[in-house]
Amino acid sequence: MDEKALIAALEQVSSATLHETMGKRYTMQPIVQPLWRPLTICGPAFTVQARPADNLATHWGVAAAPAGSVLVVSHETDNTCGGWGEILSVAAVARGLKGLITDGAVRDTVACRQLGFPIFSQGVSIKGTSKSYPGAVNVPVVCAGVTVNPGDYIVADDDGIVVIPRAQAEDIVIHGRQRDEREAEIMAQLRAGALTVDLLDLRGKLPGFAGE
Residue 121 inside a domain? The answer is yes
Same domain, 59 and 160: yes
Backbone angles phi, psi at 7, to 5 degrees: -65, -45
* pTM score of the predicted model: 0.94
How many CA atoms are closer than 13 Å to the CA of 134, on its beta-carbon side?
4
User: Distance (Å, rounded) from C-alpha 180 to C-alpha 137?
Assistant: 35
> Does 149 share its domain with 127?
yes
Same domain? For 75 and 45 the reply is yes
| 42 shares its domain with 107 | yes
Tell me: do 91 and 181 sit in the same domain: no
Residue 212, domain member (yes or no) = no
Q: Where are the alpha helices (DSSP H) in the chain?
A: 3-10, 15-21, 56-64, 86-95, 109-115, 169-191, 196-199
Sign for the CA dihedral angle at 8, 12, 15, 17 comes to negative
Residues 53 and 140 in one domain: yes
Answer whether residue 196 is part of any domain.
yes
Q: Which residues pair with 30 in a beta bridge?
A: none
Mean pLDDT by 10 residues, the chain (212 residues): 93 96 96 97 98 98 98 97 98 98 98 97 97 97 98 98 96 95 96 94 82 56
pLDDT digits (tens, 9 = 90+) for 89-132: 999 999 999 999 999 999 999 999 999 999 999 999 999 999 99
Instruction: Say whether both 39 and 138 belong to one domain.
Output: yes
User: Does 178 reside within a domain?
Assistant: yes
